[in-house]
Structure formats: structure tokens, C-alpha cells
Amino acid sequence: MAKLAAQRQKHIFIEKPLTHTIEEAENLLKIVAENGVKVQVGHVERFNPAFLSLKGMHLAPMFVEAHRLATFNPRGTDVSVILDLMIHDIDLILHLVPSEVKSIHASGVSVVSATPDIANARIEFENGCVANLTASRMSLKQMRKPDAYISLDFLDKNAQIIRLFDKNDVSTEGGNMMELETARGTKLIDIQMPEPMNVNAIQMELETLAQSILDDTPTRVTIHDGYKALKVAHQIIAEIGDSTIS
């Protein structure tokens, strides 16, 4: 359907994942480029108030721990939990880490479906950053909480930013810092809780697509973003491979 729309030079919104296969994604990339249409991929967590609260911050995370746990729902079990849930965090991490993927190690377990229902992946980047991702659709409690120096709760839509400074490096005037005794001397710990934006993420992702069409600017979540997330997701699926326990 996306191919037909692009060939008719219509701008497109595509829900994640971008396509079923890498070959389909590469073919679609070519068709979209040839026809000059805009595509936005539905990685809706980019518009989550918790994630939006980081806007303007210059981040260079070196460790990311992401847990995306959902209660069982028959919807979506036709694909692995990697393409159903984990792909959200893959997209966020690829967006935050300014480096290429170096290696991926993963394992998964099939519980009620033919594809993994629980999966864990460790992604190492060329710049030394390590991301550890866990996704499950067999949990008793929902939880979506990636964090790396910054804690983001995607379910409750709030953020907590924790910074540690040397006592002589910063001024405490007008701040809300606490002293912390460590093995390396006295440090200053600064805890911030940015006020989340009161937005409807699904509405916002569609509004940004409309605005990009009107202004002729790139979409917020481009087809290339969707392709990169899909590619890493398939690398994780391939890494799990025959090691999947059923």
C-alpha cells in the first residue's frame, strides 16, 4: 500500500515497523526517493511527554537500560516481541546515541506464540556506549522505563534527571544541590524533574507530519529512521535464531 501511494506521489504515514522485511524497506526507500514524497513512521514514543522533556539537552549516553514490559494481549503475537515492542526502544536509542552499531548479542523465549514473547538484547556502539534492552509481553505489570543518567517513565510520562558534580566545579547559588560523600571525595548531586508537556502523542505525530508537508521540511521520524530501527530489530531476531527456547 505504501508503495502504491508513493508511486502516486502521496505523502505517507506508516505505522511501525516500517515493513516486514529489510528487502521491502530498501525497495520502499528507493521508490520514496524517486517520487519525492514525505514519509513519517509511527514510532509514537518520540512524542511521549517524558521523551519530549529532554528537548534542548545535549546528551551523550554511555549506558542505556531499557525495559518495556506489557501484559499479554493476543494482538501483535503474529510478530516477535522485538518488532512489536522492543522496536520502540531501538528507535529511541538510535536517535539518542550518536554512533554506529558495533555488535549485537540477544536471546529470547517463546511462551505462547511461535515467535519470541520475551527478549533481551545488548547493543554495543562504536563510541563505547552499551544499551541493554528487555521486552516482554508476558508480564504481570506494564512498565516502560529507559534510563541512562536520565530516568524516563514512558507509562506515567515523567522524567528525572540526576547529575553528579565535583564540589569545586559548580556554584551552588540558586541551585537545589545536595552534598554526597563518595569514595572520591565530596560530590554535589543535582536532581531535576522537568515538567512534562501535556500533549496527545498520537495527535502530535500526525500534526508534525502535516506541518512538514506544509513547510516542506523533513518529517520528525523519517523513513530512514524507520529503516535503521527495522534493520537493528532484524539483527536481534537473527541473533536469537535457533537459541530461542520454546
CB atoms closer than 10 angstroms to residue 244: 19
**Is residue 206 over pLDDT 60?**
yes
CA neighbor of 85 nearest in space, from 144, 131, 41, 39: 144
Q: What number of other Cβ atoms are within 10 A of residue 4's Cβ?
A: 10
**186 in the same domain as 146:** no
Same domain, 183 and 96: no
Co-location of 84 and 36 in the same domain: yes
**One domain, residues 6 and 123:** yes
Does 74 lie in the same domain as 55?
yes
Residue 147 has pLDDT above 60, yes or no: no
Same domain? 8 vs 51:
yes
Where is pLDDT greater, at 60 or 65? 65
pLDDT score, position 38? 97
Burial of 150 (0-12, 13-18, 19+ CB in 10 A): buried
Do 177 and 105 share a domain, yes or no?
no
Task: Give the residue numbers spanning the domain of 75.
Answer: 2-157+196-243
Q: Do 69 and 140 fall into the same domain?
A: yes
Query: What pLDDT digit, counting tens, does each position of 96-117 carry?
Result: 999 999 999 999 988 777 788 8
Is residue 9 within 8 Å of 35, Cβ to Cβ?
A: yes
For residue 45, give the CATH number of its domain: 3.30.360.10
Predicted local confidence at residue 148, as pLDDT: 35
Q: Note whether 112 and 217 are same-domain residues.
A: yes
Positive/negative CA dihedral, 15, 17, 19, 20: negative
User: For residue 89, which of 61, 58, 57 has the smallest C-alpha distance?
Assistant: 61
Q: pTM for the complete prediction?
A: 0.78
Q: Note whether 16 and 37 are same-domain residues.
A: yes
C-alpha to C-alpha distance for 105 and 112, rounded to whole angstroms:
23
Reported as a pLDDT band with limits 50, 70 and 90, residue 208 is: very high
70 vs 164, more confident: 70
Q: Which residues pair with 189 in a beta bridge?
A: 164, 178
Instruction: Provide the domain count of the chain.
Output: 2
- 44 and 117, same structural domain? yes
